[in-house]
Amino acid sequence: IMRRPPRSPLFPSTTLFRSVTGANGQLGYDVIKRLNALGDEPVGADREEFDITDGKATENYITALRPDVIVHCAAYTAVDKAEDDRDTCRKVNVDGTRNIALACEKIGAKLVYISSDYVFGGSGTQPLEIDAPKDPQNIYGITKLGGEEEAKKCQKHFIVRISKFSSSIICIVSRMSLV
């Protein structure tokens, strides 16, 4: 397990230490890259470090690392394949998020959970309010909504719903982890 890196000289007043799950995925990789560009030194974690679907492994990893913030980018994102692999999708997106949230809560860390617009019905043409009715139409959306509910088990949680991957999303997620 990697230990906390030294504080960044570019952010001497910043005392937050960040970790990013799903570090080898597109979003996790880009969030780490963006935070590095800001002078931060987040610790990336992926399956090689711990299996988020294993509650004890997740707790052990996170309590040993003791980050102040976890940006939870790890997810089952193959939307079409999820229909045929429902169990794995649910384990990663719901159970994995529960494990991350409980570990964050245990050590007092903040959780930034990356969700999806798939939690909505998909028929709207206007921007939605944060409390708009949820109506996921597929297993991916159902499990991301379930992940949102699990993320709330961490008192200090933020839920970021994204509709498509872009550099502006990376900036938003990176800024959320600075809070």
Tokens of 147: 């992940």
**Can you give the C-alpha Rg of the chain in angstroms?**
16
Distance (Å, whole) CA 76 – CA 6: 32
Q: Which residues of the chain form beta strands (DSSP E)? A: 18-21, 43-45, 69-72, 110-116, 157-162
Give the number of other CB atoms < 10 A from CB of residue 91: 18
Active site residue: 61, 76, 118, 140, which one?
Answer: 140
H or E element that contains 140: helix 139-151
Does residue 118 have an active-site annotation? no
- Name the residues annotated as catalytic: 140
